[in-house]
Structure 1
Amino acid sequence: MASFDVVSEVDHQEVKNAIDQARREIANRYDFKGTDSSIDHDDLAITLHTASEERMTALRTVVEEKLVKRGVSLRGVEYGDVQEASGGRARQVMTIAVGISSDKSREINRTIKEKGPKGVTSQLQGDSIRVNSKKRDTLQEVIAMLKAEDLGIPLQFQNFRD
Structure 2
Amino acid sequence: MPSFDIVSEVEKQEVKNAVEQTNKEVSTRFDFKGSDARVEQAEYVLTVFADDDFKITQVLDVLNNKLIKRGIDIKCIELGKIEKISGNKVKQSITVKTGVETELAKKIVRIIKDSKLKVQASIQGETVRVTGAKRDLLQDAIQLVKKSIGDFPLQFGNFRE
Same fold by TM-score greater than 0.5: yes
What does residue 40 of structure 2 align with?
40
Conserved 8 A contact 2:117-2:141:
no
TM-score, length-scaled by structure 2? 0.94
| 1:1-162 superposed matches below 5 A | 1-115=1-115, 118-150=117-149, 152-162=151-161
TM-score, length-scaled by structure 1? 0.94
Would you say how many aligned residue pairs link Structure 1 and Structure 2? Answer: 161
RMSD: 1.2
Conserved 8 A contact 1:76-1:152:
no
Query: How far did 1:33 drift?
Result: 1.2
Conserved 8 A contact 2:23-2:38:
yes
Unaligned runs of 5+ in 1: none
Deviations 1:113-149 (A, max 9, x none): 123x521110111221110111111211111222222
SS in 2 for 1:82: strand
Conserved 8 A contact 1:6-1:155:
yes
Structure 2 distance, partners of 1:28, 1:141, is 49
Unaligned runs of 5+ in 2: none
Query: How far did 1:69 drift?
Result: 0.8
Query: How far did 1:104 drift?
Result: 1.2
Deviations 1:19-59 (A, max 9, x none): 01111111111111122211111111100010111111111
SS in 2 for 1:122: strand
Structure 1 distance, partners of 2:95, 2:76, is 8
Ranges of 4+ aligned residues in structure 1 off by more than 4 Å = none
